[in-house]
């Protein structure tokens, strides 16, 4: 009876606080077999493309990007000013950045809502996520949470039906890193594949040398 009661309580706690438990496990490198994701898009160039209003670039460049590009694991970030090609059409660059990234991080603020390009970037990311049937969007609320009346249709629906992060909340960085691709463990799989290919090539060369 005691074991049954403990099982019921643990199961109830898991379903009620599943996200936070997984965040804690990931932050402490525990039970990673239960939370690591399958890298179906390992060939993508970036871990995340950050969509933001230029008025919020202080937060993005001074806090968010350094926090993601340093630490463990560190991520490769796509940014407008750093990775876009001068002279190319903005619409094409948006689509290219979204497709080349495993996640799109949306910095949702008053400034973002007023940004035409920000809205286009979100729609491109949302469309890509629907096509891939994968949750690729991470919404970070910067400042006050915008009211539903201020949001565009697709963005309003997304925010109302998905969990978002808020800058300044407790465990913000742990939750953000958990929402990011679990890239720390992908190289292990990739290296194994590379080593296997190296062995195959070496065997082929050795066989060819013997034949010669």
pLDDT (tens digit per residue) in 149-170: 778 778 888 888 788 899 988 8
CATH of the domain at 129: 3.40.50.10140
Percent of the chain with pLDDT over 70: 71
d(CA 147, CA 67): 28
Question: Whole-model pTM?
Answer: 0.68
Return the higher-pLDDT residue of 15 and 184. Answer: 15
Check whether residue 71 and residue 121 sit in a common domain.
yes
Percent of the chain with pLDDT over 90: 26
Per the structure, the complete domain to which residue 4 belongs is given by: 1-36
Check whether residue 139 and residue 165 sit in a common domain.
yes
pLDDT at 150: 77
Check whether residue 70 and residue 168 sit in a common domain.
yes
Check whether residue 9 and residue 53 sit in a common domain.
no
Is 192 within a domain?
A: no
Rounded average pLDDT over 131-160: 82
Is 204 within a domain?
A: no
Beta strands in the chain (DSSP E): 46-51, 77-78, 101-108, 137-141, 165-166
Output b/e per residue, 40-72; b: 16+ Cβ within 10 A: eeeebebbbbbbbbeebbebbeeebbeebeeee
Check whether residue 14 and residue 68 sit in a common domain.
no
pLDDT (tens digit per residue) in 24-59: 555 555 554 454 455 456 678 899 999 999 999 999
Check whether residue 17 and residue 46 sit in a common domain.
no
Check whether residue 62 and residue 79 sit in a common domain.
yes
Is 61 within a domain?
A: yes
Average per-residue pLDDT for the chain: 76
Is 205 within a domain?
A: no
């Amino acid at each position: 009876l005691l074991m049954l009661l403990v099982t019921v309580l643990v199961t109830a706690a898991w379903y009620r606080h599943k996200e936070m438990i997984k965040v804690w496990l990931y932050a402490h490198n525990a039970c990673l077999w239960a939370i690591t994701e399958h890298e179906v898009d390992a060939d993508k160039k970036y871990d995340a493309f950050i969509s933001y209003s230029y008025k919020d670039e202080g937060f993005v460049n001074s806090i968010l990007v350094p926090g993601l590009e340093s630490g463990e694991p560190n991520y490769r970030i796509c940014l407008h000013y750093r990775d876009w090609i001068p002279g190319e059409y903005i619409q094409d660059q948006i689509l290219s950045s979204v497709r080349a990234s495993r996640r799109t991080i949306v910095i949702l603020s008053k400034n973002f809502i007023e940004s035409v390009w920000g809205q286009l970037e979100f729609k491109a990311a949302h469309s890509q996520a629907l096509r891939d049937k994968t949750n690729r969007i991470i919404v970070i609320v910067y400042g006050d949470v915008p009211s539903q009346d201020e949001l565009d249709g697709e963005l309003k629906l997304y925010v109302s039906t998905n969990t978002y992060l808020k800058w300044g909340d407790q465990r913000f960085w742990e939750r953000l890193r958990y929402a990011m691709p679990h890239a720390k463990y992908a190289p292990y799989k990739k290296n194994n594949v590379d080593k296997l290919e190296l062995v195959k090539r070496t065997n082929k060369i050795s066989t060819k040398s013997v034949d010669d």
